[in-house]
Amino acid sequence: MPEPDRLKILRNVLWALILLMTGGIIANLMNRRTERQTMLDSGHGWDKVRLVLEQIEQNYVDSIDYDKVTEDILPLILRELDPHSVYLPPKSLEEANAELEGNFDGIGVTFNVPEDTAIIISVITGGPSERAGLLSGDRIIAVDGRTVAGVKINQDSLVGMLKGVSGSVVHLDIMRDREMVEFDVTRDKIPVKSIDVAYMIDDTTGYMKLSKFTRTSYAEFSAAVPALLEAGMTRLIFDLRDNTGGYLDQALLLSNEFLPAGSLIVYMEGAHRPRQNFYADGTGQCQDIRLSVLVNEGSASSSEIFAGAMQDNDRAVIYGRRTYGKGMVQEPIFFTDNSGIRLTVARFYTATGRCIQKPYVPGDDLGYVYDIYERYEHGEMTSADSIVRNDSLRYETPKGKVVYGGGGIIPDVFVPVDTVGVTDLLVRINRQALAVKYSSEVADKYRSSLRQVKTLDDLNALLDSMDLEAGFLSYLSRCGVGVDRRQWAVSGDIVLVQLRALVGRYSPLDDRAFYPIIAAIDNVIQAAVAPQ
């Protein structure tokens, strides 16, 4: 075949291939466009999000840190749902789970930082620090060679340095009685108490404070109650103030302790969760115990489930202020990178059918949080008449008591924020933590005596031997704080009770000293114990 004819054929074949390829590309583009349009027309909003992400991935001018973009996007998506659906990156999830599980890895001490140096208040009995020989009053100077005293280290950072994997060792430089001592402490699992204290207020009244509904709350409660019953308890004051909630099953178990068989504790329902009822089975050991429940604006979630169950079943008298108003149930969902989300899957309803979730606007986290400040602004913290009650959410208990939904549990007996004895001097003392700081000085002076304390009577006798008033007034003078004697006459007794409680914490009694002493100036406890 002549050369010109061969070239002509090759040109024709080449053009045909080009046309086929172009047609394929155009067809592919048309198909993609049709697919995208079909997705957009389907009405499924998530499809558009996927398309945008695909376009970024295929066409964006620079390289992308996909991990960072993902970590930034997920909180924003969940924020648009409700205030309690949250994304937790690995570290945050680990910390949150450790708190709720009732243990963490660490050295087992509680400490205070009154003057830029961490002072150990107490060591957990049987924990790693006690085994290593650490004592109340020890000052932590350095951790693994890094100085932490006198350098204004962030307290959370110090906690992070002391925590660590069980079995690992942390080296501590400790100042004890003006002498440097070194310790190697092997970290271990540290139990986190959810019941801060349980004791008898008088011959027949027990008191128990639950700070969180953790995995161990019911077990702790079950362990604490027999001693109170043996001591003569016929009435329990159960303190849920500032308890932000936790595990639902623990709220159910604790509610079951007080309710007769067949009582509806709570029910849950959501768009993808059919109604589920939870009833008491009648096996509780406290069904015959008179019950008073203390709540405030910091009581939320599981605290409100418990308080609502007691109120709606006419089982307890609720004292304090209106609770937070969290009536939603979060379900944990975990991912392979150790992150996870807590997704709201249902609302919970008390036995009378009320949902106590307060109003919210999706995405407006600030407005939701500032609700508490609004309560102060509108006078709700000092007057029961200022509490907003929605008549459309009015319910009645079996005995005819009127209760309201739509914004927390309204107590049966309102107790305002305590302003009795408050002066500018008291405000300054508390704002600058002067009582806390002075208590560490007192503890240093009486260290050996405090370590010998075995009972509250022992402690009170020791405290009575100290001239706390003269010592504290002298301390205020050293701090450059002028004392108006008229204001001290009004506020002095409050400060002295605070001092006694704070110094008591440096004894082996710890919270078993602090809470019984501070109860003397706690107006909610005083309202609950007052003759009805």
Residue ranges of domains in the chain: 103-191, 195-414, 424-529
Across 76-105, average pLDDT: 79
Judge whether residue 35 has pLDDT over 60: no
Across 488-494, average pLDDT: 97
- Do 103-191 and 195-414 fold alike per CATH? no
Q: What percentage of the chain reaches a pLDDT higher than 90?
A: 58
Scan for tokens 């350098």, then name that residue.
151
pLDDT value at position 29?
Answer: 47
pLDDT category at 521 given cuts 50, 70, 90 is: very high
The domain defined by 195-414 carries CATH number 3.90.226.10: yes
Quick check: 245 and 326 in contact, CB under 8 A?
Answer: yes
Q: pLDDT tens, 136-160?
A: 888 999 999 999 998 888 777 888 8
Judge whether residue 357 has pLDDT over 60: yes
The mean pLDDT value of the chain amounts to 88
d(CA 81, CA 83): 7
Helix (H, G, I), strand (E, B) or coil at 125: coil
Across 359-376, average pLDDT: 84
pLDDT category at 1 given cuts 50, 70, 90 is: low
At residue 57, what are phi and psi to the nearest 5 degrees? -60, -40
Per-residue burial over 71-92, b if 16 or more Cβ lie within 10 Å, else e, is: eeebeeebbeebbbbbbbeeee
d(CA 303, CA 356): 12
In this prediction the pTM is 0.83
Fold of 103-191: Pdz3 Domain (2.30.42)
Q: Residue 412 has what DSSP assignment?
A: S
pLDDT value at position 9?
Answer: 54
